[in-house]
Chain A
Amino acid sequence: MRLDDLAIDNCLKCSLCNTVCPVLAADPRYPGPKRLGPELERLRREGISTDTEWVEYCLGCHRCDLVCPNQVNVSEMIARAKAAHRKPLVRGLRDWWFARPGLLGKLTTILPALSNFALSMKPARSLMSKLMQIAPQRKFPKYARPDLRSPAMTGNARQRVVFFPGCFIRYNRPGLGRTVIDLLERNGLSVEVASTECCGVPALANGDAAAARSVARANVKALARQVDSGLRIVTACSSCGHMLKTGFGGILEGDKKFACAAQKIASNTFDLAELLMAQADAGKLNTNFQHTALRLAYHAPCHQKSQGIGRPWYHLLRMIPGVTVEDMDAGCCGMSGTYGFKQEKYPVSMEIGKELFASIDAARPQMVATECATCQMQIEHGTSFKAIHPAEILLQAYDGLAPTKGRKDCSIDECECGPCRQKPEGADH
């Protein structure tokens, strides 16, 4: 018997999970994690059809799992129900694409300039919102040429790590990938870029277990050799990190060979900040930060919290002289990857983000630091502040450079986001 199968028995019906669920707080009609998770799971095991569209509304933020005093794997149960949920055709098609950001990445990056142009055009966007039920208020991230490569080896004495870039860094922000590599190298680590696929979070979040399983297998194959030779894996995206650390969310269960290798990968995966803090503990962190006058608001993504590693970025940023950091601790941003892009979920997504937006507005920072790309998008969409990956701040602090302050770079005509709405008439983006 799988041990997880008995975790359902731990539920004492205390409803604590419901008190932290962002979706339930935003929409009281949502049945809540307790109902969709352990309660319906008992009946699913009996063979009763419990399919409901509400499972689609689970963000996968894992806040219910974290708050549960009895370690019930609530969101895993909901994820399984999501995978079994039957969707209407259009949403099914849309979610098929959303489940495969790697595929979209590969296609669009053949001609990034053209596709960025097409994606940013108003007709294209309104067509997408009509045909694919994608929220017209959202803008897609720009695609870049996927030119992230392993840097040349510099000396044998250095400790090597494997960098798992994930889709966003690979296809949208290879520059951030180079920042991460630079940061690691300045801390005595030499970096190898893994030739991996998408981590599988988008696939699981879109209820596509088959796609998740297929990328998970590919990733296990790609990483197994390096892990076996004792290398650690580094992620800079909290969702990728979450996925790798949880052994690909348990989706390889039942596939003994892969499950075992996935477990090994899980125990050797480190978040970038976690690794840097480990360097700090070992006295190996390069702390030659230049004075950088910067007032930051930090938002910890849900998938960072679900890794159970404390607040490493918060502590790292505070090591930079001149930097003040305020931890927003204001819940989920509501974006949850592709969730916020979906037309029917856009209102819920924005409602969930309200608390965070208000906290950021009240803090009036110079910019927001958060390591999740979609949290950044949501924060920039819901507030007038620019949000960047904390690694960029850290790297630039070595050279005494403050990241460019101020407005976000928006390149969409008639963008609906906060700063664009505020921008003076006729001003350029």
Chain B
Amino acid sequence: MEATQVVIIGGGATGAGILWDLSLRGISAILLEQGDIANGATGRCHGLLHSGGRYAVKDPDTARECVAENRIIKAVAPHCVDEVGGIFVKCAQDDPAFFEQWWRAAGEVGIRSHRLSREEARELEPNLAADILGAFTCPDAHVDVFRLVLANLEAAVARGGRFLTYSEVTSILSADGRVRGVRYRNTRSGEEDEISCEVVINAAGGWAQGIAAMAGVDVPVLCDKGTLLVLNHRLNRRVINRCRKSSDADILVPAGPVCILGTSSIRVPSPEGLAASREEVDHLLRLGDELIPGLVNARILRIFCGVRPLYAPMPVEVARGREISRGFALLDHGTRDGVSGFISIVGGKLTTYRLMAAAACDCVAAKLGVDVECTTDKTPLRPAVDRTTHHRAIHVLPHPVAEMMERRLGPETDQVIQAIETRPDLAEVVCECELVTRGELEYVLGGATPAPACTIADVGRRTRLGFGPCQGTFCGYKAMLAGFQTHRWTASEAATEFSAYLHERAKGQAFIHQGKQVEQLDLNYDLYGADRMLCADSGKQDGI
């Protein structure tokens, strides 16, 4: 049994942010995640770093938080953020009064914005509908969620923090009204272990209610399902928001080579076993097509669902998904429920993850008597790739391949380039859609990285392997061989692993009813056999 000061439950953005914050304050901590990093809401969202525009009218407090956090994240984690900018578009069908109301509110909460005429807006975004009436700019951005979580974890590890993936908390150990530690199970090996600690932080998002129940306290979390569509290529350069009262399918975010349309808002009982209905998908597409005519014909690569874990202290019957504040709540169960050493951080959103972490850590620091201020708003998460490494990279790799690798790996690029220099075969591009090299593949599968991948899907979250049009059909096979060649798996383990991966990828395409992705899926069935892709263990969740 290990001992540490703090155990964090949940490996999403908030949990990772807390581990980083605590590590900076010199507090020892271990993070436990039941699956892989960003397995819950973090990995299943648009990846939109809000400018605050979306909440300006309805929720000025949240909007102000977003305005501040937007600037901070761009400054401390530039490699995770693609500063694409955004626009709020006024459509003919929508309430014109809201448009002006937005402009006033944006000014009040401090969003930098310009007014655009229809022509100016369409010049910026040529695919916008011809009948839009105008637009406002805003500093929206896209944030690569997996990279952001990894960056936090890796930075924390460098300062002594630890994290364990595939470690599901099975019980919270307490004595005399005080939390003493947790018991957890490795979901891949089945082994169980305990960690003793002074404070447990519940940052389990949609699973927070279940975790709280283990300590005998109630944390009302409402699961609000959002369905998102990943389109094969970028139809827009900026984040396109529809300027109206928040509703379905009014955000289109350019995310790497793809763009993501969403979302819906449907109450669900649990964060697991989510599925999108055909009507839901058609509805989203129809609305998206109003913004970008022709979008309905674009290829959908994948459909995924996530839940917004909303904190709902009022009776759930009256709370509707979008009506509940996107603000977050810090619950100190010592004062609230008489269970000391246990706190929950719930609600909130990706953009404010750092703020949530800071609040939780302030509370923990006070409990532990540590008098160190939060510095996550000033400390860069990861240094940039230095020029020498860059020159070495473009010497051994084609330019775009090197560029993609540097974006993904940051300073770790150095180690992969070093490997490629000694073994030129590692320069082979394994995932042709996302330009992932064999070097990166072996790196994330090996032990040298602070966050090694356990499955092929984990490789995807670290490198974007399999995120392109083939959805892992070809590159997944090569990743399987790489896992075998690096002795990570035996041949039969590799084959089983690949089956599970194919199945997981197939699930995200199963909701797609028409178009080229259906053909792609059929090609995949032809190649590996439909039975192999569909009958594998279905316990896993689908992420993007």
Tell me the A residues contacting B by CB distance below 8 Å. Answer: 1, 3, 6, 8-14, 34-35, 39-43, 45-52, 70
Contacts and interface: CB of A to CB of B under 8 A. Distances in A.
A9 B257 contact: no
Given A43-B257, A48-B403, A50-B400, A8 B232 contact: yes
26 contacts: A1-B127, A1-B293, A1-B294, A9-B233, A9-B299, A9-B516, A10-B516, A11-B469, A12-B470, A12-B519, A12-B523, A13-B432, A14-B523, A35-B432, A39-B433, A42-B232, A42-B257, A42-B468, A45-B233, A46-B256, A48-B403, A48-B404, A50-B399, A50-B400, A52-B398, A70-B519
Contacts of A12: 469-470, 516, 519-520, 523
A6 B469 CA distance: 13
Interface string B281-294: 00000000000111
B470 A13 contact: yes
A12 B520 CA distance: 6
Contacts of B299: 6, 9-10
Contacts of A1: 127, 235, 292-295
A284 B237 CA distance: 56
B298 interface: yes
B435 interface: yes
A39 B292 CA distance: 23
B469 A43 contact: no
B234 interface: yes
A64 to B, nearest CB: 15
Nearest to A34: B432
A177 to B, nearest CB: 43
Contacts of B473: 13
Given A8-B233, A13-B432, A35-B432, 6 more contacts: A9-B233, A9-B516, A14-B523, A45-B233, A50-B400, A52-B400
Contact of A42 (B233, B398, B516, B523): B233
Contact of A45 (B257, B297, B400): B257
Contacts of B515: 9
A46 B435 CA distance: 13
B450 to A, nearest CB: 27
A206 B180 CA distance: 73
A45 B257 CA distance: 7
B343 to A, nearest CB: 41
Interface string B211-238: 0000000000000000000001111010
B474 interface: yes
B409 to A, nearest CB: 16
A42 B433 contact: yes
Contacts of B468: 42
Nearest to A10: B516
Contact of B435 (A6, A34, A43): A43
A318 to B, nearest CB: 40
A49 B400 CA distance: 6
A47 to B, nearest CB: 8
A5 to B, nearest CB: 8
Contacts of B400: 40, 43, 48-50, 52
Contact of B232 (A9, A14, A49): A9
By Cβ-Cβ distance, the 5 closest A-B pairs, closest first, are A9-B299, A1-B294, A50-B400, A42-B257, A46-B257
Contacts of A49: 399-400, 403
Contacts of B256: 46
A9 B296 CA distance: 12
Contacts of A11: 469
Nearest to B399: A49
Contacts of A45: 233-234, 257
B477 to A, nearest CB: 12
Nearest to B84: A47
Nearest to A9: B299
Select the residue from B127, B256, B257, B523 with max chain A CB neighbours within 10 A.
B257
B459 to A, nearest CB: 18
Contact of A51 (B254, B399, B433, B516): B399
B520 to A, nearest CB: 5
Interface in B233-267: 233-235, 237, 254, 256-257
Contacts of B516: 9-10, 12, 70
Interface string B418-440: 00000000000000110100000
Nearest to A50: B400
